[in-house]
């Protein structure tokens, strides 16, 4: 069954590898699913699904495969705790409802049943195997495991394995697609795409595929083709607007910084902060106002660098367009913010701007000007991948 489930996921477009499938089988053998379809649903998703945008696809495939199919754990043995066994040893037989009680229940609507159930539930503070209330949470109550009335409210009881089906069919993750905001892991995965920038330098490595292709095109006349070695030459500059209108986005920006700092595939990496618009200082510690002169930072960059700027680009027009327009009353910027942005563009032509606001809110005066200067993308999974494609 599990092999069939694995190939079913592959057929539905989930790129689970054989190694991941073997890991799932190992986890099942160790009892991590505990003979529960609900736990198997979560366990299999955590092992076989690597990207959050596949969660909805997994839910649909899971519901399709396990619908009306019995779930059998490899151990063939449910794990029953000692506490449950002790409870069962003291369990009492449940009594049947009388015809009069059934007739009374049939006269009640669902709202009244729920009201009476909640009353019984509030009164109960100990084990209940029947007791004096025939409308309660156990016994022959329509609310218990063994309720006889079709309108009864069931709590637990048989059919527990259907819980996973309900979860999958609800497809709680259907909105977690590529248009959703990033978490740290997703950012790290997206940033790895920058490793495609590593074939730089002199062509001194044999390109076997290229050699075979060129030789075939020459009707067997050998033509040796070289290419640049695959070395890590990626250098990334990350600038982030903090404070003010960016405060609601601080968590996402922090995740981006965290993922970038933890990445090990950059030859060089530098990160700085600014507020609203970069002026003559880029900060390494905004709280303590510690930083480097922007001229110095830009002077140490060359055309091999890539730059990602994170900000909503929304500010008062003078902050961007005028000297002395800085929002800080005690700071007079001799050069306008747009001048510094143009200098950044000249120093690092491959610069992309990530905007945490939704694109439909990019209509402000300053946002449009900055969007004309830098290609602008939303801070989403698709947005960051498109930005990387742009600077790559």
In a domain, 226, yes or no: no
pLDDT score for 102: 73
Is there a single domain that holds both residue 325 and residue 245?
Answer: yes
In a domain, 344, yes or no: yes
CA distances from 54 to 13, 15, 43, 50 (A): 9, 9, 15, 8
How many whole angstroms separate alpha carbon 379 and alpha carbon 359?
Answer: 10
pLDDT score for 326: 84
Alpha helices in the chain (DSSP H): 2-11, 18-29, 37-48, 55-66, 82-89, 99-106, 110-123, 162-170, 184-191, 208-217, 250-262, 294-299, 317-321, 337-347, 365-373, 381-391
Is there a single domain that holds both residue 247 and residue 331?
Answer: yes
pLDDT score for 55: 80
Short-list 277, 276, 273, CA closest to 337: 277
How many whole angstroms separate alpha carbon 324 and alpha carbon 335?
Answer: 8
Is there a single domain that holds both residue 251 and residue 166?
Answer: no
CA distances from 238 to 2, 35, 180, 312 (A): 45, 48, 21, 15
Is there a single domain that holds both residue 237 and residue 373?
Answer: yes
Cβ(12)–Cβ(60) below 8 Å: yes
Is there a single domain that holds both residue 325 and residue 252?
Answer: yes
Please give the torsion angle defined by the CA atoms of residues 306, 309, 313 and 318, in that order, rounded to the nearest 10 degrees: -80
In a domain, 219, yes or no: no
Is there a single domain that holds both residue 166 and residue 272?
Answer: no
CA distances from 205 to 118, 198, 249, 350 (A): 75, 13, 45, 26
Short-list 377, 286, 365, CA closest to 319: 365
Predicted TM-score (pTM) of the model is 0.49
The pLDDT tens digits of the residues spanning 147-171 come to: 444 434 444 444 444 456 555 555 4
Q: Are strands 351-355 and 376-378 parallel, antiparallel or unpaired?
A: parallel
In a domain, 102, yes or no: no
Give Rg (Cα) of the chain.
Answer: 31
In a domain, 222, yes or no: no
pLDDT score for 180: 42
Is there a single domain that holds both residue 290 and residue 369?
Answer: yes
Is there a single domain that holds both residue 166 and residue 191?
Answer: no
CA distances from 132 to 95, 105, 136, 137, 373 (A): 11, 16, 9, 11, 77
Cβ(208)–Cβ(278) below 8 Å: no
Please give the residue range of the domain that contains residue 328: 184-201+233-391
pLDDT score for 199: 57
Is there a single domain that holds both residue 166 and residue 254?
Answer: no
Is there a single domain that holds both residue 276 and residue 166?
Answer: no
Cβ(18)–Cβ(2) below 8 Å: no
How many domains does one find in the chain? Answer: 2
pLDDT score for 349: 93
Is there a single domain that holds both residue 166 and residue 252?
Answer: no
pLDDT score for 245: 82
In a domain, 375, yes or no: yes
In a domain, 340, yes or no: yes
Q: What is the DSSP string of 49-74?
A: --SGGGHHHHHHHHHHHHTT-----T
Is there a single domain that holds both residue 243 and residue 343?
Answer: yes
The pLDDT tens digits of the residues spanning 112-161 come to: 776 777 677 666 655 555 555 545 444 444 444 444 444 344 444 444 44
Cβ(292)–Cβ(272) below 8 Å: yes
Tokens read off for 262 = 């933890």
* Residue with the two structure tokens 């947005």: 383
In a domain, 27, yes or no: yes
Spell out, as residue ranges, where the chain has pLDDT lower than 50. 74-80, 134, 136-162, 171-181, 197
Task: Using the 3D structure, point to which of 147, 170, 193 is the last residue of a domain.
Answer: 170
How many whole angstroms separate alpha carbon 268 and alpha carbon 253?
Answer: 20
Give the angle 320-326-328 at the CA atoms, nearest 5°. Answer: 155
* Residue with the two structure tokens 């005028």: 322
pLDDT score for 293: 94
pLDDT score for 280: 93
């Amino acid at each position: 069954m599990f092999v069939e489930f694995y190939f079913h996921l592959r057929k539905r477009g989930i790129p689970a590898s054989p190694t991941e499938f073997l890991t799932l089988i190992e986890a099942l053998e160790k009892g991590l699913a505990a003979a529960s379809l609900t736990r198997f649903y979560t366990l299999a998703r955590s092992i076989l699904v690597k990207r959050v945008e596949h969660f909805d696809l997994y839910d649909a495939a899971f519901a399709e495969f396990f619908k009306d199919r019995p779930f059998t754990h490899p151990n063939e043995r449910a794990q029953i705790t000692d506490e449950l066994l002790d409870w069962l040893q003291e369990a009492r037989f449940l009594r049947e409802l009388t015809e009069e009680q059934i007739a009374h229940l049939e006269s009640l609507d669902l709202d009244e049943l729920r009201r009476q159930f909640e009353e019984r539930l509030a009164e109960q503070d100990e084990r209940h195997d029947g007791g004096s209330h025939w409308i309660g949470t156990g016994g022959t109550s329509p609310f218990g495991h063994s309720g006889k009335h079709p309108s009864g409210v069931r709590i637990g009881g048989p059919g527990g394995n259907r819980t996973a089906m309900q979860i999958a069919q609800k497809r709680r993750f259907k909105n977690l697609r590529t248009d959703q905001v990033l978490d740290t892991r997703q950012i790290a995965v997206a940033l790895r795409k920058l490793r495609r920038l590593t074939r730089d330098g002199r062509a001194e490595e044999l390109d076997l595929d290229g050699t075979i292709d060129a030789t075939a095109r020459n009707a067997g006349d050998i033509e040796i083709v070289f290419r640049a070695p695959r070395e890590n030459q990626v250098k990334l500059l990350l600038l982030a607007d903090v404070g003010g209108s960016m405060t609601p986005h601080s968590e996402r920006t922090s995740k981006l910084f965290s993922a970038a700092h933890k990445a090990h595939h950059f030859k060089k990496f530098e990160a700085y902060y600014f507020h609203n618009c970069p002026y003559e200082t880029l900060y390494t510690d905004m709280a303590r106002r510690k930083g480097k002169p922007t001229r110095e930072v830009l002077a140490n960059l060359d055309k091999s660098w890539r730059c990602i700027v994170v900000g909503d680009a929304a500010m008062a027009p003078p902050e961007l367009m005028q000297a002395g327009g800085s929002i800080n009353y005690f700071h007079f910027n001799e050069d306008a913010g747009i001048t510094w942005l143009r200098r950044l563009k000249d120093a690092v032509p491959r610069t992309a701007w990530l905007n945490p606001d939704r694109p439909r809110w990019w209509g402000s005066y300053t946002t449009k000007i900055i969007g004309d200067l830098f290609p602008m993308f939303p801070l989403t999974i698709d947005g960051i991948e498109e930005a990387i494609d742009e600077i790559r």
